Amino acid sequence: MAKVFMFDALRLATDEEMEKDDCVCVIGEDVGHYGGSYKVTKDLHAKYGDLRILDTPIAENSFTGSIGAAMTGLRPIVEGMNMSFLLLAFNQIANNAGMMRYTSGGNFKIPIVIRGPGGVGRQLGAEHSQRLEAYFQAIPGLKIVACSTPYNAKGLLKSAIRDNNPVIFFEHVLLYNLQEEIPDTDYLLPLDKAEIVRKGKDVTILTYSRMRHHVVQAANSVVKEGYDPEIIDLISLKPLDMKTIGDSIKKTHRVIIVEECMKTGGIGAELIARINEDFFDELDSKVVRLSSQDIPTPYNGKLEQATVIHPNQIIDAIKESKVKQSI
């Protein structure tokens, strides 16, 4: 076991897969000589050269077109310097990456990973604080993954690189310096499975990405007072692992969703719809949703913090669910 930062876990995954398969390449802004804005490709240019670690102009609407490279046999990893800028490439991601395997009758595979930092950072401004997971969730043909720890970041990225379908891989800008011990040996994690972070019986808390850590912090506080929440890190945002979610709901009969995504049309909205469709009879109370406010993220630090969910709000929601249970 070795203790590594999350950016290093992602770098190790990239390095190992590039070493294993000559078809794997990285393309994006500053991924080469500079080593990536968050050092995910540090030192890889010296090892693999210009043709496999390719620096590009600032033009997401152009270099995301490496979907064509994926169609012809390569396995490109496209790094967005900030996931917000991938809106410039929405057409390529939706109409080409998402649909080409289907519209070609299976003649083309699209083994491409589109990854990079997103989420609300620390005073990055509205344009750099986008949460695009809900934007992409509506596109058929995509797999969407949100890593949350160094361990799952490495295992999920390796699986994403080997997958023959397009994978949108979300990393949170404030988790790159998170440290954790991970195995020295090669390992893969499934792209379509949620993780039960903590088993409990009182209430099911569904979350992902950075909010996983806020939920764990809140749970650690309330456990001392006799509360017993079950925490599930969704990891796979498309497809949703409804089997794991459903099994938990059948046990707790209560649900709290904690997300950094905006409330309107967010991942939580889709979760509520699916839960009501599939597990409505298992619920003893309505699903509680804790989401970011539907406003552009302010640059001002205090206002920025006021737009997202914090552990004290999660604590209140857990305690409220227990009150309803006792009634």
Distance from first CA to last CA of the chain, Å, rounded? Answer: 47
Q: Are 39 and 47 in contact (CB under 8 A)?
A: no
When mean pLDDT is compared over 58-62, 129-133, 240-244, 304-308, the highest value belongs to 240-244
Least confident stretch, 67-71, 156-160, 187-191, 273-277: 67-71
pLDDT at 262: 92
Q: What's the pLDDT at 327?
A: 47
How much is the average pLDDT of 87-98?
Answer: 93
Could you confirm whether 259 is annotated as catalytic? no
pTM of the model: 0.95
Provide the pLDDT for residue 326. 53
pLDDT tens digits along 286-301: 999 999 999 999 999 9
Q: 165 to each of 33, 137, 259, 284, 321, how far by Cα in Å?
A: 29, 15, 26, 38, 40
Q: Chain centroid to CA 140: how far? A: 17
> What mean pLDDT is predicted for residues 31-48?
95
pLDDT-derived band of residue 2, with 50, 70 and 90 as boundaries?
Answer: confident
Read off the pLDDT band of 65 (50, 70, 90). Answer: confident
**Sign of the C-alpha dihedral computed for residues 138, 190, 147 and 33 taken in this order:** negative
| 128 among known catalytic residues | yes
Alpha-carbon distance of 142 to 145, in angstroms, equals 10
Average pLDDT over residues 245-261: 97
Q: For the chain, what is the mean pLDDT? A: 94
pLDDT of residue 130: 87
Active-site residue (options: 128, 172, 213, 253): 128
Which domains does the chain possess? 2-182 (3.40.50.970), 195-326 (3.40.50.920)
Instruction: Give the pLDDT band of residue 325 (cuts 50, 70, 90).
Output: low
Q: How confident is the model at residue 127 (pLDDT cuts 50, 70, 90)?
A: confident
Identified catalytic residue from 60, 79, 133, 270: 60
